[in-house]
Amino acid sequence: MNQQQTDNPGTMSEIDRFGAWTERVLWPAGGQGGLRAARRVTGVVTVVGSLIQIVIWLLISVFSRHLDTPWWLFYTVGGAVVAGCLWIVDESGITGSSEGNDL
């Protein structure tokens, strides 16, 4: 431990700061944090996966000297549909809870 951390017990380590940041990003205050986290994770996974597939598709096109069908669109469109559905559910407030339902 360095001298600065022992002098000021309120300082946070890098791991603690990262943990606080991920908690704030993935589970923000104000409810429905799980849906927002799922929406963000789905969006990130879709974008990263799509970029990887597009790079592979372009490499195949360069080495084979013809443009192959854009097979990466299935993954991209599917991920966008899932992220869109999560966004609609998150923004509309539909959570599946039975609070307020007097049936």
CB 22 within 8 A of CB 33: no
pTM > 0.75: yes or no = no
H/E segment holding residue 82: helix 72-92
Q: Give the pLDDT score at 11.
A: 67
Per DSSP, 27 falls in state S
Q: Could you list the pLDDT tens digit for every one of the 103 residues in the chain?
A: 455 445 555 566 877 777 776 666 665 555 556 777 888 889 899 999 999 999 999 999 999 988 888 888 898 999 999 999 988 888 887 665 545 444 3
CA 38 vs. chain centroid, Å, equals: 6
Q: Give the pLDDT score at 38.
A: 83
Close Cβ partners of 93 (under 8 Å, ≥ 6 residues apart): 32
In angstroms and rounded to an integer, the radius of gyration of the C-alpha atoms of the chain is: 22
CB 85 within 8 A of CB 35: no
